Structure formats: C-alpha cells, structure tokens
Structure 1
Amino acid sequence: MNTKNSTDFGTIGVWSGALRTSNPEHGDRIGDAAAELESLGYGTVWIGGSPSVAEARPLLDATTRLKVATGILSIWDHSTEEVAAGRADLERGYPGRFVLGLGASHSALAERYERPYSTMKEYLTGLDEAPEPVPASGRVLAALGPKMLKLSGDRAAGAHPYLVTAEHTAQAREILGRGPLLAPELKVVLDPDLTAARAKARAYLGFYMKLPNYTKNLERLGFGGADFEGGGSDRLVDAVFGLGDADAIARKVGEFLSAGADHVAVQVVTEKTGTDLPLAQWRELAGVLPMTGV
C-alpha cells in the first residue's frame, strides 16, 4: 500500500450518486448524510452520476474535514474555464477539501465523444492555462487502461478507477509507481445471503455491461463472452463486488488495499442505488472497515 496520499483522502470513502445536490428526493438530508459520514470516519465522499463542481458545495458546507470529490465530472459537459473558476471558488471557501475528479465518460452517454485520451490531455492543458489554474495535485482521473493510468500519474494526483478488480488495482499500482494516489471504487452488497446479494449485484451491473470501456478493460483482465451476459457471471460479480456480511466486505476491501490502493471508495448497492441514501449500511460498514478519516 502506498502511504503518500492515503492520509489526504482517508483509507475509506463513500461513492454515491444519491449525494448529488440536484437530486430532488433528499434536499437537506444530503448535507446531514455528509456530516454523519464524516463523523463515522470516512475520509472522502465521491459524488457519482457526472456531477458539476457546484454540487460539492452543500456537502463541503455541512462538514469540516471531509474531502468531497466529483466521481466523475464529464469533460464533455463542462468547459475548462467553467470548471477552473468553480474549483477556485471552492478552494477559497474550503481550502484543500475539494478534489476534481475528471473522466471521459462513454460513447453511449456523451454525444460529442471522440478521441478520449487526446481530448483528456487537451482538457488538462486547458485547466493548466485557465486564469485560475487547477493544479495537478487538485485533480484525479477516471483511468482504466494503461495510457490513461500513466496520464493520471503524470498530470494529476492519481487515478480513480471504476468497476475494477483487485488484480486491476495491482496492475494500476505498477503503472503509477509509488507516488500517485490510487483510489478505486468498489461496489458492495451488504447481504449475508449470497444468492440474493448476487441478484442485486447483477441488477445493477447489467447497465455497465453495455459500455465498451468497461467490458474492454475487463477483457484485459481475462473476462469475456458469457461473463458479460445476464448481468454478469458469478466469477465476474464476485471479482468486481464485495458481497455478504460486513466482515466479508471488509475482507474484499482489504484485498484492494493489499493490491496497492491508497483509498477505496465504497459504493453500497441497493434496490434503489442512485437515489437511496443507505445510512444503515454506511454505519454498519464503518464499524468494520479501516477508517482513518482525514
């Protein structure tokens, strides 16, 4: 495990699309949830669902130490000028607590999608040259393949891979070396009934099996064919999810940390992932995961 950045982000974070402030279902509950996550010892909250920079503000305002990161902001949806100005404003109000997570998204989700690697390099240059630049230390990249991983180490603080395995984490650490942050996301289903847990996992995973960026990365790890059918084979589901009771999930998180992750962003999957604030699960996991806060 690399320790250079782990104390900056905490060892364990939460990844949740439900924490987007544009989510109309929760209102003030989002700030309350962020405050509780901070008190439980989570170090960073990653706002899922392609958030804007502005959506971090209510979470930062409701907390005192917690880092808040976009997980991830799509480079196709926001100009570098807008992003750099928004980030600078947050830095003035909450110094050192906002992290700009950037990603190239997917061809099925971004209308202007093309040349993702080259476009990301150009986007980073735009952030470098903005009137209020975003320093490399204040941004991370959603990186899967070797080229984007190397870029995340060269021109950002590190990488935030999504939908990966412990094996991928070990490979990513080798590419990044000892310095840059490696903060993979890990989906978990907190349910001791493994049959039921896998069913919940498949219901969520099926969407991602339609996105080539993910399936190509999984193919590099030896998956393919039947692994991508029906929401995912047992082998695939067991590799990309933590399943079972809290202790089983803690062991899976430990695999990622042992493989070289500095920080694991845990995404609790339920029947209402994306809108649900799974407070009970976050509380239970906080009791068994290696919480270090920030």
Structure 2
Amino acid sequence: MPNNQTVDLAAVKQRIGKVGVWLSLLGQESAERSRRAAATIEELGYGALWIAELLGGKESLVNSAILLTGTERLVVATGIANIYARDAAAAVSGANALAEASGGRFVLGLGVSHAPLVAPRGHDYGKPVETMRTYLDAMDKAPYDAPLPEPPARVLAALRTRMLRLAAERAQGAHTYFVTPEHTARAREILGPGSLLVPEQAVVLSTGPDRARAIARDYMAFYLKLPNYLNSLREMGWTDDDFAGGGSDALVDAIVAWGDPETIAGRVRAHHEAGADHVCVQPLARDLDECSDHLHQLAPVLLA
C-alpha cells in the first residue's frame, strides 16, 4: 500500500463485525450461484465472507470480485490468497483495485500455503517466515498509481510465534485456521492488543456424536497430513497419538464444534473471550444448499 496511507483498523472491525463465514465451496461453483450464496450470507447478517484459494479452483482475487458484485455491504476476504500464486506487485494492484471498486469491502488475507500445494504450481517451498517477509517487502515497494481512497487491510495466515509476530509487525493482524480457543488466547498474547485476530471455526450442526465426529474426521484428514498444522498442534500440547486414526475424540472435539446451535455459539464465544475480534464459521456441509440451511439455523444465536 502507499506509504502515505494507513488502514483504519477500527473501521475494518466495524465492517466485518464479530462473526463471519468461511467457505471453500465458492471456488468451485458458477459465478451466478456464488453470488446468490454471498447475497444470502449478507441477508442473514454475517459481516464477512472468507474464501479459500484451491488448486484447480477459481483465482482468489477474481473470485472476490465476483462475490463483491453480488453484494452491497458484505466484506469479502481471502482466507487465504497463496503468495506463490501471484507476485507481490500483482497482489498489491489486485487488492487495491478491489478495495477501491467495493468501497472498502475487501480484506487481503495472505499465506505461504503448504509444500504439497505449492510444488504443483512449479515453485520450491521456501522457509515460511522468511518467504513471507520478502514478499511483504516487495509489496511495500510496489507502485500503484490508480485511485485508492482507502487501502485494504491485510492479514497473514499465522499459527506459530514467528509468523504471528510478523503479522503484528507487517500487517493488520492474523487469520488463524484449524485452531482452538486456547490457540486464540496464545495468538492474542503474541499479537498484542492492537492487531486484528480472526480465527476460523469449523462446525457440524448435529447432536449425534458418531455422525458429527465422522463428518469432522473426514474434514480433518487432509489437514492432519500437513506439517504446518501438525507442528502448531504439537506446540499446543497435542501428540502423535491424537493425530492417529483420523484424530482422537479429544482433538476432533477441540477442532470442530458440533452440536445444536447454542453449543456451537458457545464455541464461538470462547474464541471471542480468548481475544478474537472476528470468528469465521465454516459449516462442514455437503453442498451450498446444506451450508445455507446451517447458516440460517446458526444466525439467530451467532448474530444476536
């Protein structure tokens, strides 16, 4: 962003509100269906929509533009834009253009992703913190000569101490994923009081333990193969025994909130009480229709 412009973090917090939605499905849907889904999320009262960038799915900044054109108030945020998918100058110009065109309704979430997801792009996976720092240096030097009334906020995907510190120093805060309220408390301590902290919370709207945990384990299987998440969990006291067999019941219940709407709302409150500014809930649904149904059921308790 231009050196003479700073982000109004209080305004960003007000725009995104206390609760948002995290979805990966929108990267694989038609533009028309994605716009309708985003409009529904806006109508329900959620403050922000966080979207994934999947290999083989829609490019995240283009997808953000699609979703912004289908909404009027909803903030769209990348959760996250993979820094290996575009150079720093492209990230600056794309994010600034989206912020200007949407009236400040865009947040740029950046992350180093994971080695298995970077190699297919033809890149070597570098040391995460050093790679991100170099990328941010290049962003800060990138020119941007188009109108920009207000620069977009940027947050870093961060789990462990060094990346969280970098998020506090070089961004407006951190977006944490696959975490517990205990991790949120630790992240807040590292970030300090002035940074934005946005944890993701996966949820299953089911009161049956066997069914809920089966859905949760199916979701968690991919992440329990990625070293970045395993190292973060180990740092929080979880062991290899917890990772075996799709995850121990204790780990599954810690990562995925399941039960009735009030129980899930209790987990979201726990993140807020631990220091989160905004929690983005991810319904573990089969499709957009089921996801929309779950968000309808959750809205009265999450947004009260």
Same fold per superposition (TM over 0.5): yes
Contact 1:247 1:288 in 2 (8 A): yes
- Residue 96 of structure 1: SS of its match in structure 2? coil
Contact 1:137 1:156 in 2 (8 A): no
Where do residues 265-284 of structure 1 align in structure 2 (5 Å cutoff)? 265-270=280-285, 272=286, 278-284=291-297
Q: CA RMSD in A?
A: 1.9
Q: Which residue of 2 aligns with 1:120?
A: 132
Per-residue deviation, residues 158-187 of structure 1 (Å, max 9, x unmatched): 000000110000000011111110000010
Q: Which residue of 2 aligns with 1:37?
A: 41
Deviation for aligned residue 1:27: 3.7
Structure 1 gap segments, 5+ residues each: none
Residue 46 of structure 1 aligns with an amino acid whose one-letter code is W
Q: Which is bigger in relative contact order (C-alpha 8 A, separation at least 6)?
A: 1
Structure 1 stretch displaced more, 106-115 or 153-162: 106-115
Q: Distance in 2 between matches of 1:276 and 1:96?
A: 29
Q: Distance in 1 between matches of 2:257 and 2:129?
A: 30
Question: Which TM-score applies when normalising by structure 2?
Answer: 0.89
Choose which of 87, 92, 104 in structure 2 pairs with 1:84.
92
Q: Which residue of 2 aligns with 1:150?
A: 165
- Is 1:206 the counterpart of 2:221? The answer is yes
Per-residue deviation, residues 45-82 of structure 1 (Å, max 9, x unmatched): 00113442111011111111111011101111111122
Deviation for aligned residue 1:220: 0.7
Where do residues 246-261 of structure 1 align in structure 2 (5 Å cutoff)? 246-261=261-276
Deviation for aligned residue 1:33: 1.0
Per-residue deviation, residues 192-235 of structure 1 (Å, max 9, x unmatched): 11221011100110111100100110001110111101111111
- Is 1:130 the counterpart of 2:142? The answer is yes
Q: How many residues get paired?
A: 284
Contact 1:18 1:276 in 2 (8 A): no
Q: Which residue of 2 aligns with 1:139?
A: 154
Q: Distance in 2 between matches of 1:276 and 1:32?
A: 11
Residue 235 of structure 1 aligns with an amino acid whose one-letter code is A
- Is 1:6 the counterpart of 2:13? The answer is yes
- Identity rate, percent: 46
Structure 2 gap segments, 5+ residues each: 1-8
Q: Which residue of 1 aligns with 2:6?
A: none
- Residue 100 of structure 1: SS of its match in structure 2? strand
C-alpha spacing 1:137/1:26, structure 2 compared with 1 (3 Å): closer
Per-residue deviation, residues 59-109 of structure 1 (Å, max 9, x unmatched): 111111111011101111111122212112212211211111000011121
Question: Which TM-score applies when normalising by structure 1?
Answer: 0.92
- Is 1:19 the counterpart of 2:26? The answer is yes
- Is 1:285 the counterpart of 2:290? The answer is no
